[in-house]
Amino acid sequence: MCRVLVYLGPRIALRDLLYASDNSLIRQTHDPKMLRMLNLAGCGVLAWDPTSRLPEEPLAYHSVTLPVFDRNLFAMSDKIAATAVIAHVRGVPLSSQSTVGEQNLHPFRFPGVRLAMAHNGGLAHFERMRFALARHFRPEVGAHIRGNTDSEWVYALLLSQLTDPHALHTAEEIIAAVRRTLDIIRAVREEHDIHTSSSLNLFLSNGRCIVAVRYVLDFGCYELDDPAHVRETDLAYLSLWYTRGAEYGQRDGEWRMLAGSGGGGAVLIASEPLTRDVSTWLELPEYSALSASFRPDGGNLDLFSAEL
């Protein structure tokens, strides 16, 4: 079912975001606190560093190696610092029907496009609606789809709602595209008489802003064929938490957002808090979006929330 994080703020070592805390994203592959599912199908990271050689291009790393055993990721994470990060660990049913491969790893970022996306959730009966969704793609966007996940299709659909998918978008433009995407998916589901609960927690970034969406279509509408098929995610909204402060760091042995040490402001949004102590985290309301953006003058972040 996946675990995800997005970060925006002062340069921070990837190691600190991915590995350091007691409920780190890497640890959530095998020991998540708010999900009864393992996330063993690979890991993906996009990290933007304005001091790097191509500052508009993020470092991109995707691997199906279990990140706990991935020496390359571990070694690299201490060498890379970034001001914007999306990281994702993928969870799929433990079944031979699941496809584990690099083409299915998030975050997705099509060639020439600034906006990247990761997804936590799933579209019920995707196989029945996929080609109806494709009718809403821009052809040049749809042509880049490589995998067989619903997530990548949601990404293509969202990009297709932007006036220019290759531009650098504001958080407000991204949220407007999310709204249109949700409307299209809802309409296609209606066309195909699909009314099963489907989670769409989305995490987006273009290096200058981050957007997180907490949404479920037909929340609470589980399948009626067999009580054994009622899922955890049918009964409770998928979690999505955030924390903010001057910078993310360590104090008294605990990782948390720290107050006013001269940093310009940082926001961290994740499927679940990266620390077992959740007291410094807040939960994003259901059916809502949260965004953070660097100001043009490079000062503090602008935070914006919206109901969807």
Partner 1 sequence: MSPGSDLAALIQSVPLFSDIGGGDLEELESLLVPCDCAEGDVLFRQGDPADRVFLIVSGAVAVRAGAPAEGEVTLVEAAGRGSILGEMALNQSMQHEATATAKSDLATLTLDVETFAGLRRSRRPIAWKILRRLARQMSQRLRDVTRALSTNFGSTGANADEATGALARAPSAPDGEARVPEGRYVEFLRVLPFFRHFDEASVRQLLGSMRQWQLKRGALICEEASHATSCFIVVRGAVEITSRSEHRPAQRFGVVGPGRMVGEVSLLEPGPRTATCVAREDAVLLELGQEALDRFLEPTSSLAFPLLEALNANLIAAQLRTNAYGARLAAEHPGGPHDPLP
Looking from the CA of 14 toward its CB, the CA atoms found within 13 Å total: 27
Binding flag, residue 122, partner 1 (CB under 8 A): no
CB nearer to partner 1: pick between 93 and 220:
220
Contact call for residues 107 and 46 (beta carbons, < 8 A) = yes
Q: By CB under 8 A, how many residues form the interface with partner 1?
A: 45
Which stretch of DSSP H or E encloses residue 34?
none
Is 155 among the residues that bind partner 1 (CB under 8 A)?
no
Task: List C-alpha distances in Å: 75 to 99, 114, 116, 120, 272.
Answer: 28, 26, 24, 26, 25
The answer to whether 307 contacts partner 1 (rule: CB under 8 A) is yes
Asked if residues 118 and 86 have their Cβ atoms less than 8 Å apart, the reply is yes
Q: Provide DSSP, 207-255.
A: SSEEEEEE-EETTT---SS-GGG--HHHHSPPP-EEEEESEEEEETTEE
Does 258 bind partner 1 (CB under 8 A)? Our answer is: yes
**Closest CB to partner 1 among residues 126, 304:** 304
CB 109 within 8 A of CB 58: yes
Under the binding rule (CB under 8 A), the answer on residue 126 touching partner 1 is: no
Q: Which is nearer to partner 1, 127 or 226 (CB)?
A: 226
By beta-carbon proximity to partner 1, the closer residue of 57 and 286 is 286
Residue 79 vs 276, nearer CB to partner 1: 276
Is residue 176 involved in binding partner 1 (CB under 8 A)? no
DSSP-based helix, strand, coil % in the chain, nearest 5 = 25, 30, 45
Pairing of strands 116-122, 198-205: antiparallel
Answer yes or no whether residue 48 interacts with partner 1 by CB under 8 A.
no
The C-alpha angle 167, 173, 176, rounded to 5 degrees, equals 135
Contact between 162 and 138 under an 8 Å Cβ cutoff? The reply is: no
By C-beta, is 36 or 53 nearer to partner 1?
36
In the complex, least distance from residue 229 CB atom to partner 1, rounded to whole angstroms: 10
Pick between residue 60 and residue 235 the one whose CB is nearest to partner 1. 235
Rounded least distance, CB 245 to partner 1, Å? 3
Binding of partner 1 by 93 (CB under 8 A): no
Nearer Cβ to partner 1, position 137 or 287?
287
Site residues (CB under 8 A) for partner 1, limited to 206-245: 218-222, 224, 227-228, 230, 234-237, 243-245
- 271-290 positions binding partner 1, by CB under 8 A: 276-283, 285-287
Q: Least separation, in Å, of the C-beta of 258 and partner 1? A: 6
The Cα 10–Cα 21 span in angstroms is 18
What CA–CA distance (Å, rounded) separates 168 from 184? Answer: 23
CA nearest neighbour of 161 among 190, 210, 197, 204: 204
Q: How far is the CB of 281 from partner 1 (least distance, A)?
A: 7
Residue ranges in contact with partner 1 by CB under 8 A: 195, 218-222, 224, 227-228, 230, 234-237, 243-246, 251, 256-260, 265, 267, 276-283, 285-287, 300-307
